[in-house]
């Protein structure tokens, strides 16, 4: 038998107090599940898990202790530092039971000298912080008499339950359970979504049509009840289902680790959790395997001349990898030759072939590009569902093949050997981690693509810190002239550092967020597409052309093809051409006509 400390297996504390007068020394002893009071004993056969009315738990075999209504709920607070010091000096202390009165504490007459199981305090009028409140629910039991409702018999003493339920200032019990002496669990109180329109980099301000839709972002702000705030970002103007918002509000952010929410929202949750714990976000994902992650620059489909200029720009900024979608209105051979003329040794191109062709349509193109020293990766060379075609092409070429969206979920494609690497990132954080670790087990690699500004890139770098096999990340932060963080993450020798600060490790400038949110949505001009063929013929279309529909040839199989965009210039010639196409559809004519 040993002296009790007022706990019963961590579930609840049971204290036996003298109803009247004072006493010195401990009031009961604890052995196993039996509590022995000064005037009697009883068995506690059930742990007290919740003190919500009407039942707290079982006493004896079938007895149930009724819990008082909120008006009867009392508050407890720790002793003051001075009282603890006096106690250490051997002084007897004056303790008071205290009740809530609009969140304040007032003394209730009564003395309890000597060692107390629950230290009651404090001086009259002191406000008790909510996180330090616990519920004290009790019912006095007269000696030898059982109160209506089946209260437990403990002769001459009140039976007191103490649970770890925080209460509101009005005395109502809340649902959160907070261990005595520990902080209450962090809860989400607000989820805010802000649509912003960051300006493009100066070099692209006159290319609104070419860079359409990338100048829109959504910033997620998640606020917790402890004042901690997390930010994340997605490209485009993203909305959320009201049900998702309701599920988040009032819950712990840790309940949503690896959930399937938009990448920007997940970034905000990881930022919030990391800041709360004062650790970088990657520590919530796995073991860190690298300090820096290779990064790729990016541009939209470009003419050979524009692509060469972008490669020079990227190299000057520290990049050694560059991603671009090919297009059916440019010749990929000419584009690649232009890169070869300006790229330094070791520079690699990542060509996205748009998953729109069959193996016969693309095999010769891949064979030609295989001879180039600047070709690093080909993404989606054929349609996704042709898993056998992927496998056969991979056997034929030494160029690494990257699959963006596995149609069978990723596992079968990995098992069949369809690709050398798989895209992760934009499919969701949970899926990215799962697929990333699966790829590592199969000894294939990944490319992380999370397109947006600095917040999005930071999240990608945290993923890249823990996924074992990562070739590089693809981001769009190099395409913007402004950012809500006020800057960009450093790029040097082809890679960027994993942020080590709390959360995502980058800070949002609230003033910049408000300012950029005030930018107007970009208005696109009307434009005509002029697709030039090797023969000198030009196809005129409203908007970008469908070359396959106009000519019957699949992408990449017309040498020398190129597109010029003719934006509205106020001329009668432009208006007449536009009106003609609207009435009769696309047409072709010789350039000299």
Question: Do residues 336 and 369 make contact, with C-beta atoms less than 8 angstroms apart?
Answer: yes
Is residue 171 in some structural domain?
Answer: no
* pLDDT of 241: 83
CATH of the domain at 266: 3.30.390.10
Is residue 179 in some structural domain?
Answer: no
Residue where a domain terminates, one of 284, 316, 345: 284
Same domain, 431 and 314: yes
- Cα separation, 44 vs 36, whole angstroms: 11
- How far does Cα 265 stand from its chain's mean position? 5
Residue 127, helix vs strand vs coil? strand
Per-residue DSSP letter, 588: E
Per-residue DSSP letter, 291: S
Secondary structure string (H, E, C) spanning 334-364? HHHHHHHHHCCCCCEEEEECCCCCCHHHHHH
Tokens at residue 154, please?
A: 């403990």
Same domain, 72 and 108: yes
* pLDDT of 397: 97
Phi-psi region of 232 (alpha: psi -120 to 50; beta: other; left: phi over 0): beta
Instruction: Give me the tens of pLDDT residue by residue for the chain, a chain 593 residues long.
Output: 443 343 333 333 323 233 333 334 333 333 333 333 333 333 333 333 333 333 333 333 333 334 333 333 333 334 444 444 444 344 333 333 333 333 333 333 333 333 333 333 333 333 444 444 333 333 333 333 333 333 333 333 332 223 333 333 443 333 334 444 455 689 999 999 999 999 999 999 889 999 988 999 999 999 999 999 999 999 999 988 888 888 899 999 999 999 989 999 999 999 999 999 999 999 999 999 999 999 999 999 999 999 999 999 999 999 999 999 999 999 999 999 999 999 999 999 999 999 999 999 999 999 999 999 999 999 999 999 999 999 999 999 999 999 998 888 888 999 999 999 999 998 899 999 999 999 999 999 999 999 999 999 999 999 999 999 999 999 999 999 999 999 999 999 999 999 999 999 999 999 999 999 999 998 999 999 999 999 999 999 999 999 999 999 999 999 999 999 999 999 999 999 999 999 999 999 987 65
- Cα separation, 360 vs 210, whole angstroms: 30
Is residue 178 in some structural domain?
Answer: no
Same domain, 499 and 367: yes
Residue where a domain terminates, one of 488, 517, 546: 517
Q: Which of 178, 162, 156 is nearest to 65 (CA)?
A: 162
Strand partners, 232: 220
DSSP H or E run through 517: helix 510-517
Is residue 181 in some structural domain?
Answer: no
Same domain, 509 and 547: no
Strand partners, 276: none
Question: Do residues 402 and 423 make contact, with C-beta atoms less than 8 angstroms apart?
Answer: yes
Residue 422, helix vs strand vs coil? strand
Per-residue DSSP letter, 13: E
Same domain, 444 and 375: yes
Same domain, 384 and 427: yes
Same domain, 487 and 372: yes
- Cα separation, 45 vs 57, whole angstroms: 9
- Cα separation, 197 vs 519, whole angstroms: 6
CB atoms within 10 A of CB 49: 12
Question: Do residues 545 and 586 make contact, with C-beta atoms less than 8 angstroms apart?
Answer: yes
Is residue 417 in some structural domain?
Answer: yes
Residue 318 burial (10 A CB sphere; 0-12, 13-18, 19+) = middle
Give me the count of residues in the chain: 593
Is residue 157 in some structural domain?
Answer: yes
Same domain, 417 and 339: yes
Residue 193, helix vs strand vs coil? strand
Same domain, 250 and 327: no
Tokens at residue 101, please?
A: 């009165």
* pLDDT of 184: 62
- Strands (DSSP E) contained in 113-250 are 135-139, 159-163, 188-196, 217-224, 229-235
- Cα separation, 486 vs 507, whole angstroms: 9
CATH of the domain at 373: 3.20.20.120
Sign of CA dihedral 357, 372, 323, 325: negative
Is residue 335 in some structural domain?
Answer: yes
Residue where a domain terminates, one of 233, 254, 284: 284
Q: 427 is in which domain, residue-wise?
A: 292-517
Q: Can the peptide bond before residue 54 be classed as cis, meaning omega within 30 degrees of 0?
A: yes
DSSP H or E run through 395: helix 387-396
Give the total number of structural domains in the chain: 4
Same domain, 497 and 531: no
Same domain, 205 and 262: yes
Is residue 174 in some structural domain?
Answer: no
Same domain, 113 and 192: no
* pLDDT of 410: 85
Q: HSE-up of 431 (CA within 13 Å, CB side)?
A: 17
- In angstroms, the Cα distances linking 178 to 48, 133, 198, 532 are 14, 9, 43, 71
The pTM is what? 0.70
Strand partners, 425: 449
* pLDDT of 408: 80
Q: Which of 360, 363, 368 is nearest to 333 (CA)?
A: 368
């Amino acid at each position: 038998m040993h002296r009790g400390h007022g706990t019963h297996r961590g579930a609840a504390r049971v204290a036996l107090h003298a109803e009247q007068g004072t006493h010195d020394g401990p009031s009961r002893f604890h052995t196993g599940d039996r509590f022995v009071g000064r005037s009697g004993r009883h068995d506690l056969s059930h742990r007290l898990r919740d003190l919500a009315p009407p039942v707290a738990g079982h006493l004896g075999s079938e007895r149930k202790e009724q819990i008082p209504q909120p008006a009867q709920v009392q508050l407890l607070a720790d002793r003051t530092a001075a009282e603890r010091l006096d106690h250490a000096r051997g002084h007897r202390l004056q303790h008071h039971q205290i009740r809530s009165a609009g969140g304040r504490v007032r003394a209730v007459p009564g003395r309890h000298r000597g060692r107390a199981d629950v230290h009651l305090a404090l001086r009259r009028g002191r406000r008790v912080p909510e996180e330090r409140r616990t519920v004290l629910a009790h019912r006095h039991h007269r000696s030898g008499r059982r109160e209506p409702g089946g209260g437990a018999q403990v002769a001459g003493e009140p039976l007191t339950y103490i649970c770890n339920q925080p209460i509101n200032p009005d005395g109502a019990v809340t649902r959160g359970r907070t261990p005595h002496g520990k902080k209450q669990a962090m809860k989400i109180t607000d989820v805010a979504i802000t649509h912003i329109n960051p300006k493009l980099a100066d070099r692209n301000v006159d290319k609104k049509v070419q860079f359409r839709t990338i100048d829109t972002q959504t910033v997620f702000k998640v606020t917790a009840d402890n004042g901690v705030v997390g930010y994340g970002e997605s490209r485009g103007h993203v909305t959320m289902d009201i049900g998702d918002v309701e599920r988040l509000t009032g819950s712990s952010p840790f309940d949503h680790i690896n959930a399937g929410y938009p990448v920007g929202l997940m970034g905000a949750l990881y930022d919030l959790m990391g800041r709360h714990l004062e650790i970088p976000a990657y520590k919530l994902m796995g073991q860190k395997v690298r300090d820096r992650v290779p990064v790729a620059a990016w541009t939209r489909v470009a003419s050979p001349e524009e692509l060469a200029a972008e490669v020079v720009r990227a190299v000057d900024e520290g990049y050694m990898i560059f991603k671009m979608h090919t297009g059916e209105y440019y010749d990929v051979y000419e584009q690649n030759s232009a890169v070869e003329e300006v790229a330094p040794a070791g520079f690699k191109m990542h060509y996205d072939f748009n998953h729109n062709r069959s193996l016969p349509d693309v095999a010769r193109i891949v064979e030609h590009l295989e001879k180039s020293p600047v070709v690093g990766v080909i993404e989606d060379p054929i349609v996704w569902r042709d898993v056998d075609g992927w496998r056969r092409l991979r056997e034929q070429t030494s160029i690494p093949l990257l699959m963006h969206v596995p149609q069978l979920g990723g596992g079968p494609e990995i098992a069949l050997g369809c690709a050398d690497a798989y895209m992760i990132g934009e499919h969701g954080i949970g899926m990215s981690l799962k697929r990333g670790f699966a790829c590592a087990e199969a000894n294939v690699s990944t490319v992380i693509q999370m397109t947006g500004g600095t917040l999005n890139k930071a999240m990608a770098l945290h993923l890249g810190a823990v996924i074992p096999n990562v070739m590089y990340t693809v981001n769009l932060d190099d395409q913007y002239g402004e950012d809500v963080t006020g800057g960009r993450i450093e790029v040097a020798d082809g890679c960027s550092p994993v942020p080590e600060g709390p959360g995502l490790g980058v800070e949002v400038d609230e003033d910049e967020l408000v300012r950029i949110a005030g930018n107007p949505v970009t208005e696109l001009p009307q434009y005509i597409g002029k697709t030039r063929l090797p023969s000198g013929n030009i196809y005129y279309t409203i908007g970008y052309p469908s070359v396959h529909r106009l000519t019957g040839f699949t992408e990449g199989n017309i040498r020398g093809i190129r597109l010029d965009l003719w934006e509205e210039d106020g001329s009668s010639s432009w208006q007449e051409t536009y009106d003609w196409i609207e009435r009769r559809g696309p047409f072709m004519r010789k350039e000299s006509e």
